[in-house]
Every structure is written in structure tokens, then in C-alpha cells.
Amino acid sequence: MSPEMQMPKLMWLKRHRPELYAQIGYAGDLGDWLGFKCTGSTERSVCMLACKWTFDPRPGHGWDHDFLTQIDMQDVLECARLPEQALPVGVALGQLTEEAADDLGLTTRCTFAVGMIDAYAGALGTLGRSLTDTPERRLAVIGGTSTCHIGAQPVRREVPGVWGPYPGALCDGFVANEGGQSITGALLDHLAALFSASSEFGDDLHGALSDLLLERLASGDPAPDTHICPDFIGNRSPLADPEIRGAITGLTLDTPRESFIKVYWAAATSLVYGTRAIIERMNAHGYAIDTLHLSGGHGRSALLRKLYADGTGCRVVLADAPEPVLLGVAVAALAAQANGEVLSVANGLTPGEQTLEPDLAMQALHTARYAAFKKLYEGRLD
């Protein structure tokens, strides 16, 4: 469980603002809310209910009423208008109402398809064409302000510290597991705001630092003694500990500019090592991940692309699609016209891709830095 999920949010509302909780007539994720507003249907996506609402879509399961009673939320099914079943991603929910068609500048002939959470759309956009080819070896990494790590197999896998298993959350016939880091790109932005020397790198700070650090990396470790614990607001995966806080070690009396460069490098590597720790946990529980399908803002950074490959030892696949999240949404939308056959649509719609292999010459550097990274967690990652 995470406080980011919907049951904890509504629990808070019931305890602290009971007068507002009593007025709820509907509660839903954005994707389901859009479906409700566009079609009038209160049916829900299996992706939304499984990932955020503690719904188990397996036959004979559904809502765990004992759990809801335990947390004093047995009334949420009625007040939030939660159904007893969930619809698969990519099936038709209904036609646009006249009001919705007018608001959107469309017609009532438009079909609204059952959607998915944004990160899962990104995973579908990058993994969709590959799920029938050794899916246990593949992990979608959607990196932006925060990062989601989504893998899926036909077989159900329980991975401690990683959310799931979520049947059908990515597509019908596959069971997803989701790891994550609560701040990644946001951490790099935060560190830039903390250091006054960041202003010396112009308007494209991240691009300038990417070029500089790649140049320095060619001649060795740019900051061998500087390391960061990146979990400034807790660890989502694989430790699932909200109390962990960030740390920066190895600072000296360098110039402010040089100190900032070293901290930025340490932060960038720490984000990749956090992904490496998630991969190791998943591989210890039924996965064999050696291929990352990278999308989001991290995929547009030359530095991060190289670090994801070299720092994890995995090949990195980069889709030619400029916006894989929107591509995944398009796959789900078009599946509504193809009897919900999400993977067949993905195979026909997904563009080409490029592959970046890990540089074996960087293996020793990252092995040493990853060992130092794990020491910041006092043995909890071993």
C-alpha cells in the first residue's frame, strides 16, 4: 500500500473531513472520471481499480470486504459508486454523450475506450510489441518527475517491496508488477535549485551537464568520493519505507561550481542504482530482466540513457515514438475497434526502436559506485 493510492486518500478524508466524505457521490481516477463524464457510464478500468483501489480482478476475488471492514471503509463501495467488476483495457465503454461531444468539438459517433493509468500507457507504448517475446526479461522504465518500473508476465509473481501483482492492468492475459521512485527528475531539479552555481550552466542546465559529465566520464569517475541517497521523501521500491530521507556524502571545499557538478553526477547515478535495486529484487522473485524499455524525460537525456545501460548492465531500448505514453493511449483507443485485442493493435501501430548496449568498460566503475550506494542503506539492499 501507498498513501498515494485511493483507499488511503479516502480514509484520510473520512477521518479528517467527515462532512465532505458524507457528500461523495462518485470517486474515481482521472481515466475513469473522463469515461464517466464522456459517456455517463460508471464502469471502471481494471488498470485503475487493480493498481489504486485494492481490487483483485481474478475470478472469485474482487473486493476484500474483510479488509475494508478492518480499515473502516466498508461504505466506500456505495459512496464512491464502485462496481463489482472491472472492464479490460481497450474495450469500448460507450459513445460520447451529446454534452461531451459539444464540449470536445466531436460527434456522438465517437467511441470512448476503457483507458489506463499514464505510466501503464507508457509501458504499453514501449512494451506492447514485445510482450509475446520473453516478457520476463523486459522492464518498462517511465522516467520523468518520478519513475515507474513496470514488468508483466502471463504468470503471477509476488515481489516484496514492489506493487502488484495486478492482473490485466497492462493488458488482458498478463500480470503486472510495478516498482517506483517517488522523485527522480524532480530530485535533479531540486538540487539545481539548492546550488547557486547551477545558474552558470544556462537555460538548458540538464543538457549542459549531460555533455560535460559524458566528457569527464570518458576519462574516469567524475566524482569518485561523492554519493547520494536519493530518497528525499522516502523509498517506494524495493524497501517501501516512507521514513527514509536523503543524504549527500563526500563533499569537500571545492568551488561551488565543482561541488554542484559532483553532486549532480552522484544524483544521476543514484537514480539508476535505485532502478538497479528494483531489478535485482524482481529478478529474485521470478523475473530475469536484462532489457529496459526507456521512455519519458529520462529517455531524452544522453547522460541518463548511458547510465541506465552501463549502471544496470541491461540493454536499453528506445522507441522511435516521441511520446510513448500517448502511443499507449492510442493503442488502447484503437483496440476498441478490434474487439479489445490490445497486443495485435500494438504490433501494428508501434514504430521502430533503437537499442543501446551497456559499455563493459564501465562495469568496474558502476560496480564500485553501486556498492557505495548500498552502504547508504545500512545493508537493507543486500
* pLDDT tens-place string over residues 2-42: 888 999 999 999 999 999 999 999 999 999 999 999 999 99
Contact 96, 110 (CB under 8 A): yes
How long is the chain? 382
Q: Just give the CATH number of 118-382.
A: 3.30.420.40
Return the number of other C-beta atoms located less than 10 Å from residue 173's C-beta. 14
Given the DSSP bridges, would you call strands 147-153 and 163-167 parallel, antiparallel or unpaired? unpaired
Question: What's the whole-number mean pLDDT along residues 262-279?
Answer: 98
More confident residue, 132 or 362: 362
Distance CA 382, CA 373 (A): 11
Quote the Cα angle for 331-336-341, to 5°. Answer: 65
Contact 209, 261 (CB under 8 A): yes
Q: What is the pLDDT of residues 81-116, one digit of tens each?
A: 999 999 999 999 999 999 999 999 999 999 999 999
Distance CA 145, CA 49 (A): 24
Asked if the 6-113 domain carries CATH number 3.30.70.2190, the reply is: no
Domain boundaries, the chain: 6-113, 118-382
Q: Mean pLDDT in the chain?
A: 95
Return the number of other C-beta atoms located less than 10 Å from residue 321's C-beta. 19
CA quadruple 50, 52, 53, 54: dihedral sign:
positive
Residue 46 DSSP one-character state: H
Establish whether domains 6-113 and 118-382 are of one fold. yes
Among 215, 212, 294, 219, residue whose Cα is nearest residue 261: 212
Q: What is the pLDDT of residues 18-28, one digit of tens each?
A: 999 999 999 99
Given the DSSP bridges, would you call strands 247-249 and 315-319 parallel, antiparallel or unpaired? unpaired
Question: What's the whole-number mean pLDDT along residues 230-256?
Answer: 95
- DSSP lists the bridge partners of residue 143 as 147
CA quadruple 241, 245, 249, 255: dihedral sign:
positive
Distance CA 65, CA 282 (A): 29
Distance CA 192, CA 166 (A): 37
Quote the Cα angle for 334-42-123, to 5°. Answer: 40
* pLDDT of 128 strictly over 90: no
Share of residues in the chain with pLDDT > 90 (%): 90
Return the number of other C-beta atoms located less than 10 Å from residue 362's C-beta. 18
* pLDDT of 382 strictly over 90: no
Distance CA 121, CA 110 (A): 21
What's the burial of 154, exposed, middle or buried (CB within 10 Å: 0-12/13-18/19+)?
Answer: exposed
